[in-house]
Amino acid sequence: MKDSNEFILGNIIKLMRSSEKKFKLGNFKGAIDDKMKANAMLKSKSCDKKIVEKYREELSSLYSSKFDLIFDHKLKIDETKRNQIVKMLEKKSNEKLKSLDYKGAIKAYRRAEKYFSN
């Protein structure tokens, strides 16, 4: 079981890093596809709380910045408000994806991940 959890986490992290590379190269469709695959793996029944916590830590290291306004905002809001913001941004990302605005979709999804990270 431990090996399968490490395998799942490894795949999620690979997809996340691949998405970041594609985003920086301007391949927004590929970036959002990788993010969606990683998100589907996270929401599957095979993921437990430890995997989600390690994923959040990885997000924190990926999105760490000296000037991070979202991090400052997260300190001032409670968990329920943070979850509402994440759901709203994911909904916005899906709407942009339906209208084939891949750049807008990946930006909204990345912002949602920043609220989800530690």
Q: What is the pLDDT of residues 68-86, one digit of tens each?
A: 666 666 767 788 888 898 8
Residue in the block written with tokens 């691949």? 18
List phi, psi (to 5°) of 82: -60, -45
Q: Count of domains in the chain? A: 1
**Predicted pLDDT at 47:** 72
Q: Which amino acid is at 77?
A: I
> What domain range includes position 88?
2-116
Least confident of 13-27, 32-46, 86-100: 32-46
Whether this prediction's pTM lies above 0.75 is answered by no
Say if residues 59 and 38 touch (Cβ distance below 8 Å): no
- Yes or no: say if 12 and 55 are a contact pair by the CB < 8 Å rule: yes
**Which segments of 3-99 are extended strands (E)?**
none
